[in-house]
Structure 1
Amino acid sequence: MNAPFAPDRLAAAPPRAPKAPPARRRLLPWGLAVLLLAGGGYLYSRLTAPAADAGLMTAPVTRGDVEETVIATGTLKPSKLVAVGSQASGRITSVKVRLGEKVKAGDLVAQIDSVTQQNALHTAEAALANVRAQKVEKEATLRLNELTLERQTRMVAQKAVSQADYESAEAAVKVTRAQLAALEAQIAEAQIGVETARADLGYTRITAPIDGTVLSIVAQEGQTVNATQSAPTIVILGRLDMMTVRSEISEADIVKVATGMPLSFSILGEPERRYDGRLEFIEPAPEAIKTDSSFTTSSTSSSSSSSSSSSSSSSSSAIYYIGLFDVPNPDGRLRTYMTAEVHIILGQAKNVLTVPATALERNGQGFAVRVVGADGSLSRRPVEVGLNDKVTAEIRSGLTAGERVVTGEMTAGTKTSERGGPPSPMGF
């Protein structure tokens, strides 16, 4: 059954918009496509266009500290290092110290068999006693001769004795006095012999000449030492509370340094810890002077050939001058013969503008850098350079903090996390 007709429904329906012509409907998609292509092309050209600093490594201008130094290799030694030897020959009966033990000056270090030295002392003392006894005898003889001379003097005046007897008595007195003088000299000689024998006996007791630490025991108990030609070393002592650093300064750098300059050094075991000091002395000649061939006295042709060869070898080798300075070592952390990396400070600048040294370019008598602008453009700008440690350079004028400078060019295949920045160590 059909629904009744409702005139109000026709009145409520909205009127329909007139339809566009068929040709206009076909052109609208094509216009949108053209606009999309144009926008994409512009965006692609902006993204792919090379920047002025493309392929360059850059770094910012920052504030920091710069320290210009001369680097030298040093060796640590005790401020006092003594090889304690023996002046007496014989068998070592005992060693009284242990390795690493601290001793005082005068402490007994070792004992050498002293039988021979004791016998020599007894012999010298006996010889001295013998000469003294002879002196006593001659003194008695002199007294007797003097009395005889006095008697002969009185009697010759009275014509009771002959002149010959008087002269004989006078000569006897003079001879006896001369013999006494000779005996006095022999006594002095015998006393020297006793003192020498006593000293030789004392040499059998090896004592420490300084306060220090036993660094090495060279001769052991029971070993026989012969001091006839040279003094054999028994132990080596060193004073470790104060260390001396012997630094080798190359001839190229020696003209830059002077005594009194501040310095710092570190050891291989603790490269992060810094020890400070001052250069105290520079030896006037390198250690190669000890083997200078000009000191040889031989005039043979073979010696001349050897000397010229030695001179040639010496001239071709590197020359180093020794710079010395002391450093306290209260905790004993620094040890004998450690290697030190010494930095002699030529100049310091703190909280100054700095750039990597690789950013500097020679510009006549001065320097220039390439600066990257905010829009990526490059410009070359002269700068005044202060201290330069070959890694970081001080900029005194020409740049401001935050600007970026060119430090180099990237090679093919170099990846960077930021355009123009240095590549990461791992290549990512």
Structure 2
Amino acid sequence: MQGKWIKRFIWTLVVAAIIAGFVYALREKPQAVDAGAVTRGAMKVSVSQEGVTRVRDVYTVSAPIAGHLARTVLEEGDKVTADVTVVAAIHPLDPPLIDLRSQAELLAAREAARAAVSMAEIEYKRFQSDLQFARDNLARALRLAKTEFLAESALQKATTEVEVLEAQLGSAKAAIELRKAELASAEARLIQPQSSDAPRERNCCVYVTAPVNGVVLGVMAKSEQPVAAGTKIAEIGDPGNLEIVVDLLSSDAVRVAPGAQAEIIDWGGEHALAARVRRIEPAGFTKVSALGIEEQRVNLILDLEDKDPRLGHGFRIYARLTLWQGEDVLQVPISALFRNGREWAVFAIRDGRARQIKVEIGHMNDETAELAAGLEQGDTVILHPSDTISEGALVEARVE
């Protein structure tokens, strides 16, 4: 009889163990989650954007006149001295090539000019003969006037005729010089361009010198070539006087004020450089992003407070601009935040269970958000809550 009760007791224990095993297997297991804490401390809100360095005052050297630019001997990086260093030498332009028809017309014009010179010389000789004859008549008239056999009016007429012929002779001489000048002009129009190997006059050039002391930043016209007035030849500036241009979205630019602090990062150096916003340009512009979206952007001009000689003109940098900062701010990791309708919420861990709590958020940066209400310092929140987390779910912080 006793053995029968022992068997029943054993079977009862076995069934109880099986039931306990099922209960244990089917019990709610806590979900392992990443946890973070609500802290209090300094907080900074900033925006980072790519920018470029540039020399504050860039002087562009241009051709003052049209001409033939000699090869520029300066290279990028060469130092120049104001009003001493020759940046460019401009020679007169060669005459254009003459086609056959134009050449025939110019040859005819030259022959006509030669004939005009001959006609002027003949006219000059005729006036010489007439003047000599008039002078002889005047001499005879003077002799007759002494004997009073010639009227005074006849003497005046002879004198006037000599004076008129002398004037006409002078005019004829001037006409010869005019015709000779026209002949020289016709012959000059027949001059063909010189070959590139022909030596050029050294005293017929316009030398363009550097306007300021500095360094050559770029050479736009290196090779020998014809240039028009105003053609850019080179750019000169002082690389030690740099500024930074950063284009921000207009919605971010309105949150930045002149004098705001900034950091220059990812420029290639070992540490960040301090900078400060000097000016926000009043006009924006449209820029197409890499995704093809049109954006309204505004240029911000920054002054470097920490300078590095390795930075030069046109270098790429990243600027981190401070939009807001606080010293004693209650903050929560932004990875704990999620939207619940129109409100922000988090899952806080309380007594081992997830509790959904509505929070009010102020400023936000890439890591934390300012807490205005909802949590206290030291509260533990779930980071990156998944869809499996719900109100009252059993959770435990994952141990790394």
TM-score interval for Structure 1 and Structure 2 normalised by the shorter chain: 0.5 to 0.7
Matched, 1:340 2:317: yes
Partners of 1:341 and 1:385 lie apart in 2 by 28
1:127-174, CA deviations, whole angstroms, 9 ceiling, x for partnerless residues?
xxxxxxxxxxxxxxxxxxxxxxxxxxxxxxxxxxxxxxxxxxxxxxxx
Given the superposition, is the C-alpha separation of residues 26 and 321 from structure 1 closer, same or farther in structure 2, using an over 3 Å criterion? closer
Q: 2:371 aligns with which of 381, 391, 395?
A: 395
Cα deviation 1:178-219 (Å, max 9, x = unaligned): xxxxxxxxxxxxxxxxxxxxxxx8982222222322222222
- Give the percent of matched residue pairs that are identical in Structure 1 and Structure 2: 24
In the alignment, is residue 30 of structure 1 matched against residue 29 of structure 2?
no
Normalized per residue, the structure richer in helix is 1
1:323 corresponding residue in structure 2: 300
Deviation string 1:67-100 (CA, Å, 9 cap, x unpaired) is: 2234444332111222212324444456453322
Q: How does 1:70-85 map to 2 (within 5 A)?
A: 70-85=47-62
> 1:217 maps to which residue?
219
Amino acid of the residue matched to residue 260 of structure 1?
G
Candidates 279, 282, 286, aligned match of 2:280? 282
Tell me whether 1:238 sits opposite 2:237 in the alignment.
Answer: yes
Instruction: Report the alpha carbon displacement of residue 393 of structure 1 after superposing the two structures with TM.
Output: 0.3
Q: Which residue of 2 aligns with 1:299?
A: none
1:187 aligned residue: none
Superposition deviation, residue 373 in structure 1: 0.8
Q: Tell me what 2:331 maps to.
A: 354
Cα distance in 2 for residues equivalent to 1:202 and 1:389? 66
Once the 2 structures are TM-superposed, how far is the Cα of residue 38 of structure 1 from its aligned partner? 4.5
For 1:365 and 1:91, the matched residues in 2 are separated by 71
Corresponding residue of 2:263: 264
Deviates more, 1:63-72 or 1:79-88: 63-72
Structure 1 residue 280 displacement after superposition: 0.9
Structure 1 residues 388 and 401: alpha-carbon distance in aligned structure 2, compared to 1, 3 A threshold: same
CA distance in 2, matches of 1:209, 1:345: 38
Cα distance per residue 1:351-394 (max 9 Å; x no partner):
644323353467899855331213214242x5453421264202
Secondary structure of 2:212's match?
coil
Alpha-carbon distance in structure 1 between the residues aligned to 2:71 and 2:294: 47
| Equivalent residue runs for 1:172-211 within 5 Å | 204-211=206-213
Q: Give, in angstroms, the shift of residue 266 of structure 1.
A: 2.6
Give ranges in structure 2 of 5+ residues lacking alignment: 94-202, 287-292, 389-393
Structure 1: runs of 5 or more not aligned: 1-19, 117-200, 289-315, 413-417
Structure 1 residues 402 and 26: CA distance shift in structure 2, 3 A: same
Comparing 102-111 with 75-84, greater Cα deviation is found at 102-111
Identify which of 86, 90, 110 aligns with 1:109. Answer: 86
RMSD (Å), alpha carbons: 4.0
Give the alignment's TM-score, normalised by structure 2: 0.57
Segment of structure 1 superposing worse, 56-65 or 103-112: 56-65
Q: Deviations over 1:89-118 (max 9, x none)?
A: 4444564533222233334133526689xx
Instruction: Give the counterpart letter for 1:220 in structure 2.
Output: K
Match of 1:226 in 2: 227
Normalising by structure 1, we get a TM-score of: 0.53
- Structure 1 pair 420–34 and aligned structure 2 pair: CA distance change class (3 A): closer
Residues 256-308 of structure 1: CA deviation (Å, up to 9, x unaligned)? 222122222334656x84332221112222357xxxxxxxxxxxxxxxxxxxx
Find out whether 1:254 has 2:253 as its counterpart: yes
Q: Please tell me the residue identity of whatever aligns with 2:54.
A: K
Q: What one-letter code is carried by the residue in structure 2 that aligns with 1:281?
A: R
